[in-house]
Copies of this chain bind each other. A is one copy, B any other.
Amino acid sequence: MAAAALVTENFKFVSLFFKSKDVMIFNGLIALGTVASQTAYNVFAFDCPCSSGRNYLYGLAAIGVPALAFFLIGIMLNNSTWDLVSECRLRKCWKLSGATAFALVGTIIGRAVVAPLTWVVISLLQGQAYTCALSEFVDPSTLEDFPSGQELEVMAKFPCQGSVPMELQGFWAEIERRLKYESQLIGWLLVAGMSLMVFLMLCMKRCYSPLGYQQEDYWSQYRSNEKILFQRTATVHARLLAAENIKSFFGFVALDKEEREQLAEHQSAS
C-alpha cells in the first residue's frame, strides 16, 4: 500500500512537471522527488556488513551509485546536452567561443547536479552510510580507557550494535555519536557551500548579462514561443512532404478530412 501511495505521489509530481515548464518548480520537484526516494531506500535497503574492508566499499556504493545514476539521468533528460553534441559534430566545436561553451556546459552540469547532491546531503544528515563506512578508521587511542591492541576487524563491528564484544559495549554510544556528528557536520557544510555557490553563480550570471530583468523575461518568452511554433510548423511541413511523395508513387493519397484541410491551407500559403 505504501509503495502504491509512493508511486501515485511521484506520478502527480511528474505530471505537474510536464505541465509547468518553470525552471524553479522543476528544480524543486527534482529535490522533493529525491527526498522521497531516499526515504524509500532507507526503509527497505541499508544493511551494514560490519566487516573490515567491506564496510568502506558498501558505504561508498550506497552513497555513490545512486548519485551517479541521478547525475547521468539528469544529463540525459536535458535537451541542451544533445543540442550541444550535434552542434559540435556539425560545425566543429572550435566555432563556439570559450565563454559560451563554458556557460552551456555549466548550465547542463549545474542542473544535473541537483539530484545527486540532494541524495548525498540527506545520506550524510541521516549518517547511517558514513557511520558504516568509517567506523574502522576511528583511532582507538583517542577514546578514554579503550583496551589497546584492538584490530580493525573489531572497530568495523561497531555499526552493528549486536556484534560488538561485551567488554566494548560501553564505547558503542560514544563512537556512534562521534561518527554521526562528523557525518552531519559534513552534510551541513555541504548545504552551506552549495547555497553560497548557487547564490554567487546567479549573481554573476545576472551581472554579466547584457539584458535587464524585463528584457530577459521577454527573451525567454520569445524563445519558448519560437520553439513551439517551430515544432508545430515542422510537423505540418513533414506531413506535406510525405503526402506529396506518396502521391507521386500511387497517383493519389488517402488523407482524412482534417489532414486534407490542413494541407490545402498551408500548401496554398507556401
Contact = CB atoms under 8 A, between A and B. Distances in A.
Interface of A: 1-11, 13-14, 18, 22, 24-25, 28, 32, 35-36, 39, 44-45, 47-51, 54, 57-58, 61-62, 65-66, 68-69, 72-73, 75-77, 79, 82-83, 85-87, 89-90, 125-127, 160, 162-163, 173-174, 177-178, 180-181, 184-185, 188-189, 191-192, 195-196, 198-199, 202-203, 206-207, 209, 211-214, 217-218, 221-222, 225-226, 229-239, 241-243, 245-246, 249-255, 262, 266, 269-270
Question: How many copies of this chain does the complex contain?
Answer: 3
A212 B250 contact: no
Nearest to A66: B191
B49 A180 contact: yes
A203 B88 CA distance: 13
A29 to B, nearest CB: 9
A14 B35 contact: no
A89 B162 CA distance: 63
Given A66-B191, A188-B65, A199-B76, A32 B49 contact: no
Contacts of A178: 49, 51, 54
Contact of A49 (B162, B177, B214): B177
Contacts of A65: 188-189, 191-192
A18 B24 CA distance: 10
A193 to B, nearest CB: 10
A66 B121 CA distance: 13
Nearest to A91: B212
A254 B225 contact: no
B75 A199 contact: yes
Contacts of A181: 47, 49, 51, 54, 58
Nearest to A144: B153
Contacts of A83: 213
Contact of A254 (B61, B221, B232): B232
Q: What are the 5 tightest A-B residue pairs by CB atom distance, in nearest-first order? A: A49-B181, A225-B242, A226-B242, A222-B238, A86-B212
A226 B254 contact: no
Q: Which among A239, A255, A262 has the greatest number of chain B C-beta atoms within 10 A? A: A239
Contacts of A6: 4
